[in-house]
Amino acid sequence: MKPVDHKIYLASKSPRRRELLRQIGVEFELLLLRDHSPRGPEVSEEVLPGEKAEDYVVRVTREKVEYSAKTMLWRRLPMRPILAADTTVVVDGRILGKPADPAEASAMLKQLSGRTHQVLTSVALLHDDQTLQVTQTSHVTFAPLSDTMLHAYCATPEPYDKAGGYAVQGLAAVFIETITGSYSGIMGLPLRETAQLLQQAGIPVL
Give the per-residue pLDDT at 35. Answer: 53
What lies within 8 Å, CB to CB, of 45 at 6+ separation is 60, 86, 97
Give the rounded percent of residues in the chain with a pLDDT score beyond 90: 85
pLDDT tens-place string over residues 195-206? 999 999 999 888
**What is the average per-residue pLDDT within 86-106?**
95
- Has residue 41 got a pLDDT over 80? no
Domains and CATH numbers, the chain: 8-200 (3.90.950.10)
**What is the average per-residue pLDDT within 121-137?**
96
Give the per-residue pLDDT at 31. Answer: 94
Burial 140-172 (b: 16+ CB within 10 A, else e): bebeebeeeebeebbeeebbeebbbbbbbebeb
Burial 24-37 (b: 16+ CB within 10 A, else e): bebebeebebeeee
pLDDT tens-place string over residues 67-84? 999 999 999 999 999 999
Number of alpha carbons in the 13 Å side-chain half-sphere of residue 93: 3
pLDDT-derived band at 32 (thresholds 50, 70, 90) equals confident
128 given a catalytic annotation = no
Catalytic residue among 86, 92, 128, 147: 86
